[in-house]
Amino acid sequence: MSTYPTASSRTRLAFVLHLKPGVTGEYRRRHERIWPELAAAFEAQGVLHYSIHQDAASSVAFAYVEVEDAQRWAEVGRTEVGQRWRAYMSDVLVTHPDGSPLVTPLSEVFYFESCKRPLSPVHR
């Protein structure tokens, strides 16, 4: 995956995951409640934001993740829980022979971050 450094020193990554035909509902269902230990692995490896958006018509999912460090993000897939999640998802994702998901990295073209953020209740 490619990395996209930002002024805030975070790394933003975007990629497409390729779903097998006819599994979009199941793919969504499996993400309704990710395993707590997977969420803990995300946090331990510096994942700040992670979202997946699905296009059921084309059997693709677009993923966007903000991480503290791209190398630490790569470590998530090497953890025990990351390996179990990969195996769990292998019947709904198009994968490489080694079982890793077929991922198409996307290049960032534009980014906007608002400077006008609502004040927290403490600062009002």
What beta strand segments (E) does the chain contain?
11-18, 47-55, 60-67, 103-105
Known catalytic residue at 31: yes
Active-site annotation holder among 18, 31, 53, 96: 31
Q: How far apart are CA 111 and CA 6, in angstroms?
A: 9
Q: How far apart are CA 72 and CA 69, in angstroms?
A: 5
**Coil, strand, or helix at residue 6?**
coil
* DSSP assignment of 101-121: B-EEE---------S--PPPG
Residues carrying an active site annotation: 31
